[in-house]
Structures are given as C-alpha cells and as structure tokens.
Structure 1
Amino acid sequence: MTTIQKNQSILLAGASGVLGRHVTRALTEAGHKVTGLGRGPDNGVRADLMDRDALLSAVDGHHFDTVIHAATALRKPPMRDRDMFATDALRTEGTAHLVEAARVTGARRFVVESMVFGYGYGDHGDRPVTEDDPFGPRGTTPQLERHIAAMRTKERLAFETEALEGIALRFGLFYGPGGTEALLPLLRRRQLPVPADRGRVLPWVELTDAARAVVAAVERGRPGQAYNIADRTPLGFRAHVENVAGAFGLPKPMTVPLWLMRPMSYAHTVMSSRLVVSCAKAERELGWTPLYPSSREGLAALRSASP
C-alpha cells in the first residue's frame, strides 16, 4: 500500500452533504484538518463550484494538501432523468473548476466520488465487474449518455490533470445515517411501491463505510487508480427496501409491475439494472473492508442508534 503524509490539510467540496458530513468526521478522527467548500455559511471556503471565477477568488491564498470532490446537487433520491442534470454539471464543469482550484492551492492529491453506474446501466450479468472493465461506455439513450459522460469526464479530469495525483472511488448505492431516514415516512404510509427484483441486484455501501474509504484513499490510494467501494452483499432495490422495513418494524412495500415505474425514468433504469462489483482491489491496496458486510447489519446499527 502507498502511504502519504498524515495530518493533511484537506479541502472538501460537498462537506455539508449527506456523504460529506460523514467524510468530514472520518477525516477529522484520522487526524486531518478539513475545510468545507460550498455555498452554505458552515463552509470554511464559501463558493459555488459552478462559478469558476468566484471559486478561484475564494481559494486564493489558501494551501491544501488534498482536495476531495464529493459535491452533489441531489437533496432526495433522483426519480427522473432530469433530476440528475445538475449533478451531471457538477461532475463536468464543477470538476474542471475544482481542478483549477486544487492547482492554485498547491494540492498534491485529488480524490473524486464516482459511482458504479459509470460501468453502464443495464444487465451486467453475474460476473463481478472489476476496475479493469471499461468505464464510461456510451449510454443507450441520450439521457443515460449524459449521466455516464459526466462520470467519465469527472474521472478523466482527476486522472489526467498534470501535477495532481487523481484517485476515483466508485461507490455503490448509499444508505445509512442521514440517508435512509427519508424512506421511513413513506414506508409507514405505504407510499413506496417497488417492483419485484427478479434476479436484479445492485451494489450498496453504508455511508460511514464509504467515508472510511475516502480516508483510505487520501492516505493510501495509488495515483491514477480507481477503486470499487461496496459491501459484500449485492441486493435488488426491493430487497434493500424490505431490509429497511424489517429493521424499523414497518410494513413491507407494495409490489408493482416494473413497467409502472417508466414515468420515473431514472428510477426505472436503476431498478432494471443488474450489477455486481468486486472490491478486491480496495481491500488489497487501500486496506479497506466494509464494517457492514450487508445492509442488514448496517440498518440494524442505524436502528439501534435511533432515538
């Protein structure tokens, strides 16, 4: 494993987001100094990633060892393709602007949050996808190409920018503290219908496990490398929601035909996909393993911590 400087000064774009809050805590507990970057008043550097000039002005005079891009425009799960467009822009223009900011601050390392859907939406079969598989294949529709192109661009900018050690973490679907709670009122009111999985499974990762992977990438990631980050138990979307219901003693979701989800175009695409990933590289090179091997354990921990 590659090991670099401890006690780093780190600029975290997206520090106030669901993942960002966990990353801030994990980095701080590991001895690093974290400065948040975002538009809100709680950020040490207040700027909008989409405003290049304002961003460069905001970081002028600052020095950071590492810059992390974990910013998202999502405030709730995306249902339609258009719900992803603002996040697509953060992955393209926002990343380009943040790369410039990283260079201005003298940063050496640049870590980006990526996603397993960069391998493509659809049916990948049962073979675990590794980091050696093609990333960023052309999308099968203009909307999916827009999403995949954004992930492709984000990683390319991280890897190809001169004088920056780019690392990408390809996360599974997030769940856990700060994320899963939004499902509970819907389950209580039986307002979260989902289709049967029928063999379709997806990678998942608990948010504190994801944050630990970011710390590992900052400290031990190899420059120019991507790492899959997911737990050991891929599950269909319905199976995961049923685990949520079981953990909190709530009614199981109603079953609906998959075609009924088509008006919610992005959710339909995700629920139609089958994807299993291997995390052997992250375990080998980062020394990262999930504390929660499946969402059953992660949700049980969430439930026990809930008031």
Structure 2
Amino acid sequence: MTTNDESQSILLAGASGVLGRHITHALTEAGHKVTGLGRGAENGLRADLLDRDALLRAVDGHHFDTVIHAATALRKPPMRDRDMYATDALRAQGTAHLVEAARATGTRRFVVESMAFGYGYGDHGDRPLTEDDPFGPPGSTPRLERHLAAMRTKERLAFEAQALEGVALRFGLFYGPGGTDALLPLLRRRQLPVPSDRGRVLPWVELTDAARAVVAAVERGRPGQAYNIADLTPMGFRTHIEAVARAFGLPKPMTVPLWLMKPMSYAHTMMSSRLRLSCAKAERELGWRPLHASSGEGLAAMRSAGHR
C-alpha cells in the first residue's frame, strides 16, 4: 500500500460539477489544498480540457502533487446516446491533454473517475465483478463501443502515463445531495415513468461516499490499480427511484414497459443491464467502506439534512 496523507496540492478537473464539489469538500477536510480546473469562472484555473494549448497555458508555472480527472459534460442524467458524446470526448481527448498538463506541473499521482459500465453494458449475471474482470470490452453496437472506447482509453492513459502514478475509481451510479435533487420535481409531477426491474440490479454509491473514496485513492491508492466503488446493496433502477419517492414522501413513479424506453436509447440500455460490483479490494487496500450501505440509508440521511 502507498500511503501519503500529508497535505498535498491538488488540481481537480471538474471541481464545479456535482461530484467535484463533494470531492473538493472531502479533500479540503482532509487537509489538502484544492485548485479547481474548468471553463467556469468559479475555477482557480480556467481552461477547456479539449483545448490542449489553452490547458497547457493555464497550468504553466504551477506545481501540483496530484491531478484528479472528474470532469464531465453532463448537466442532467443522460437519456440518449448522443447525450454522452461530449463526456466521451472528455474521457479520451481530455484525458490525453490532462496527462500532458500533469507532467508539465511535476505531478506524481493521477487519479481518474471511471465507472461500473466500463465492464460492459448488458446482463453480467449475479456474480459481483472484481477488478480482475475484463474492463472496456468491445461494445455490442457502434454507439456502445463509442462509450466503452472512451472509458477504456481514460484508464489506459492514466495507467500508461510515464512518470505518473495512475489510479482509477470505477464508481457505481451516483445519488445524493446535488444529484438526486433533480429527480424530486419530476416525481412530484409524476413525470418520471420507469419500467419494472424484473431481477435487474445496478451498483449505486452516495456522492459523499464517492468523494471519500477519492481522498483514499489520493492518499493510499496503489499505482496502476483500479478500485470498484459502490455501496453494499445493488438495486434495480426502478427500485432506486421508488426509494427516492419513499424517502421524500412523493408519489411512486408510473410503470411503463421497457420497450417504451427505446427512443431514450442510453436510458434503455442502462435500465436493461444487470451488474454487481465487489468492493473488497477498495476496503482492503484503500481502507474505504461506504458510510451508507444502501440507497435507502443514504436518501434518509439526505432528507434529514434538509433536502426537499
């Protein structure tokens, strides 16, 4: 195990995003100094990851101990495959540019946000997948290959970057403060129809738990390693949405046939998948366990903290 919990100077790409805000808080609480990188004025360094020259100009003269890539182009849950294309570009070209920037700033550690669907979309059965299972298999369709190629490339660039200690965190689906809030008005107006799960489950992780995993990766992650990060209770998409409705006293979502979701191609693919993760490696090597063992627990904590 590599342990470095001394105060670090950290560059966080995606600091203004939902996950990024949680990561910033968790790192700051752990005693690290965080500089945000992104296009918005709220960032300490302003640059677009897809603009290599502008990015290198932005970091010129700076030094960081660790660079974290948590940038996404998503502002709401992706419904169609095209909703993922800008994020796909950030995962591929954006990572290549950020690796260059990390080298230019004398960075030692490079941590990337990855995700469970990198193991492939579809039915993986009931066996929890471990980090030894193939990651980034060929997509079954051109549109899915586009997403998987981007996830595959992001991890490969992190692990193969010369003079950088690459670490990847393969997250389940996010929920929690700043993430779940957008669903509440839709449920209130009964505008969020979802199909039955029919035995399908997905991994989930509460956002503050995810941020704690990033801190653990910065301080204790082994170079060249990936870690699955999810709670202890995989559940189907509908079951999760019903838990949201129950936690906030809102009407249950309407039930629709799965085929009716086909026009929303990415959501249909996601809701059709069955995927479980084993997080034993993260517990063993990072010392990370979720504080919220299930969506029900995490949503109850969110409600008690005053979210409506």
TM range (shorter): over 0.9
Q: CA deviation digits over 1:193-220, x for unaligned, max 9?
A: 0000000000000000000000000000
Paired residue for 2:7?
Answer: 7
| Rounded Cα–Cα distance in structure 2 between residues aligned with 1:41 and 1:170 | 29
Tell me the residue number matched to 1:303: 303
TM-score with structure 1 length normalisation? 0.99
Name 1:83's counterpart in structure 2: 83
3-state SS of the aligned residue for 2:146? helix
Structure 1 residues 1-307: aligned runs within 5 Å: 1-306=1-306
Unaligned 5+ segments in structure 1 are none
In structure 1, what residue type is equivalent to 2:259?
A: W
Amino acid of the structure 1 residue aligned with 2:95 = T
1:81-132 alpha-carbon deviations (Å, 9 max, x no partner): 0000000000000000000000000000000000000000000000000000
The amino acid that maps onto 2:58 is A
Opposite residue 211 of structure 2, the aligned amino acid is A
Instruction: State the Cα distance separating 1:42 from its structure 2 match.
Output: 1.1
> How much has 1:272 moved relative to structure 2?
0.1
Q: Secondary structure at the match of 2:228?
A: strand
Q: Name the CA distance, whole Å, in 1 between partners of 2:38 and 2:88.
A: 17
Q: Following the alignment from structure 1 to structure 2, what is the Cα–Cα distance between the partners of residues 233 and 186? A: 25
| Displacement of 1:248 | 0.3
Q: Give, in whole Å, the separation in 2 of the partners of 1:4 and 1:104.
A: 22
**Cα distance in 2 between the residues matched to 1:236 and 1:287:** 27
TM-score under structure 2 length normalisation: 0.99
For residues 83 and 279 of structure 2, the distance between their equivalents in structure 1, rounded to whole angstroms, comes to 29
CA RMSD in angstroms, aligned pairs only: 0.6
Runs (4 or more) in structure 1 with deviation over 2 Å come to none
C-alpha displacement of 1:4: 1.8
Whole-angstrom distance in 2 between the partners of 1:161 and 1:216: 21
Instruction: Provide the C-alpha distance between the structure 2 equivalents of 1:86 and 1:18, rounded to a whole number of angstroms.
Output: 17
1:306 and 1:273 map into 2 onto residues whose CA distance is 33
Amino acid across the alignment from 1:281: K
In structure 2, list runs of 5 or more residues that go unmatched.
none
Aligned-residue identity in percent: 86
SS in 2 for 1:131: coil
Distance 1:65 1:241 in 2: 39
2:73 alignment partner AA:
A
- Displacement, 1:5? 4.8
- Separation in 1, partners of 2:5, 2:194: 46
Superposition deviation, residue 6 in structure 1: 1.3
SS of the equivalent of 1:31 reads coil
CA distance in 2, matches of 1:42, 1:186: 29
